Amino acid sequence: MTPITTTAELAVFCDKLKGQPFVAVDTEFMRETTYWPRLCLIQAAAGSAEACIDPLAEGMDLEPFLEIMRDETILKVFHAARQDVEIFNNLNAMPRPLFDTQVAGMAAGFGEQIAYDALVRQMLKIELDKSSRFTDWARRPLSDNQLTYALADVTHLAALYPILHDRLATEGRLGWVTDEMANLTDPAIYDVEPENAWKRLRPRKHTAKYMAVYKAVAAWRERTAQSRDQPRGRIVKDEAIDEIATQAPTDADQLDRLRSVPKGFSGSRFGPDLLAAIREALKDPEAYAPVVERSRTSASPAAGAVVELLKVLLKARAEEAGVASKLIATVADLEQIANDDDADTSALKGWRREAFGEDALRLKRGELALVLDGARVRVVEVRRAPKTAG
């Protein structure tokens, strides 16, 4: 098997993709030792056209394929799309519209985050050979086994999509996954602006001084990781950002006293720049600190117990509907509902409200109860005794 290695060959292949209703896409990439994912292979299949594309081939220009990704008349089908979408977003080719068979599988009753090989096994009755999954995709030449494995991912994906689509349509569940698909192509998810890096983390305090340093250190780490093309954790760990923000060191001695910072860090190539970023943030913490909306999960002393009850209700309703509970509501959704009947959460909107949200509110009001029936939890109506005149 021979991959596409020239721009001219790629243009010919992409001409075959134009006008197709959908194209199945997958990528192989490496990012264990880098900040930016290194794209090593692209696989695509639509109709009778299928190929592996080598982005590392000398002189290769991916623009013909990126045009396909940008073409909104062609549906792009992925499985567990997030990292693939991140790669194409980095190449200014956000793949819209999109269909993720993992998300669709959750709506079709195949469980939480079903793996691709498991979905192929259950729907197509095919057992995939995964022996090449963790091979070195950056090494050339690629073996026939690697290319066969890679191409099978999209040929089976192309066969999966119409079956899964029709199943969801028949069950009236296509709309259940529409929002999730749209969210996957929201550029904000893939934002790598250093000043926004703190938003991906979990600050433990909300004082201006703490948040100013927290934001500054997170931004410094992001810029450093990007410029050096190294994973964030190789610069400093997440827990170090919290300790640095708490202690706010402004000189080398104070920085080296921190437990989460490697010994001698202040004297490394990173130390002076980090300390400069901290001192800059501390010049005016009130101005530099981001405004953080406080969580409402602690508003009610009983909220924790309510969340635990809602988890049981969610599991029961998800099993009845034959859909993964994660698709209906997250723990964050349950925490919001526990504290606010009018919470601005997707679990209280649309089909999710019908499947779970309304019952969640009724459970809070004492109109529903959870009953253990053997090994299964049943949801039952609470019959209230009629009021008597007296």
For 67, the token pair is 């045009």
Token code pair at residue 94:
């956000």
If you average pLDDT over residues 162-186, what whole number do you get? 93
pLDDT in tens, 248-291: 999 999 999 999 998 889 999 999 999 999 999 999 999 999 98
**Percent of the chain surpassing pLDDT 90:** 85
Region 109-120 average pLDDT = 92
Percent of the chain residues topping a pLDDT of 70: 96
pLDDT tens sequence across 12-51: 999 999 999 999 999 999 999 999 999 999 999 999 999 9
Asked, colleague to colleague, whether 194-288 and 303-381 share their fold, the answer is yes
The DSSP output letter for 228 is H
Q: Phi/psi of residue 369, each to 5°? A: -135, 155
Q: Is the pLDDT score of 227 beyond 50?
A: yes
For residue range 308-350, list pLDDT tens digits in order.
999 999 999 999 999 999 999 999 999 999 999 999 999 999 9
Q: Residue 377 in contact with residue 316, Cβ under 8 Å?
A: yes
Is the pLDDT reported for residue 63 higher than 80?
Answer: yes
pLDDT digits (tens, 9 = 90+) for 289-305: 998 876 544 456 668 89
Dihedral-angle region of residue 248 (phi above 0 means left; psi in -120 to 50 means alpha; beta otherwise): left
Contacts of 384 (CB under 8 A, 6+ apart): none
Q: What is the pLDDT of residue 303?
A: 82
| The pLDDT of residue 238 is above 50 | yes
CA distance 50 to 100: 19
Structure confidence at residue 179 (pLDDT):
84
In the beta sheet, which residues pair with residue 52?
Answer: 43
Domain 7-189: CATH superfamily is Ribonuclease H-like superfamily/Ribonuclease H (3.30.420.10)
pLDDT of res. 385: 60
Q: Domain-by-domain residue ranges, the chain?
A: 7-189, 194-288, 303-381
Mean pLDDT of the chain: 93
Q: Comparing C-alpha atoms, which of 323, 214, 185, 338 is closest to residue 278?
A: 214
Q: Which long-range contacts (CB under 8 A, 24 or more apart) does 224-233 make?
A: 224/270, 224/273, 225/35, 226/35, 226/36, 226/192, 226/194, 228/35, 229/34, 229/35, 229/36, 230/33, 230/34, 230/35, 231/31, 231/32, 231/33, 231/34, 231/35, 232/35
DSSP label at 342? T
Give the model's pLDDT for residue 297: 42
pLDDT band at 387 (very low <50, low <70, confident <90, very high): low
Residue located via tokens 């250093």: 194
Separation CA 98–CA 89 (nearest Å): 13
Judge contact between 304 and 294, C-beta under 8 A: no
* Closest C-alpha to 79, from 35, 12, 128, 34: 128
365-384 pLDDT tens trace = 999 999 988 888 889 998 76
102 CB-near residues (< 8 Å, 6+ apart): 79, 80, 81, 113, 114, 116, 119
Q: What is the architecture, at CATH level 2, of domain 303-381?
A: Orthogonal Bundle (1.10)
Task: Sort 138 into a burial class: Cβ within 10 Å, 0-12 / 13-18 / 19+.
Answer: middle
pLDDT at 200 over 50: yes
- Please state which CATH number belongs to domain 194-288: 1.10.150.80
- The span from the CA of 61 to the CA of 90, in Å, is 15
pTM: 0.88
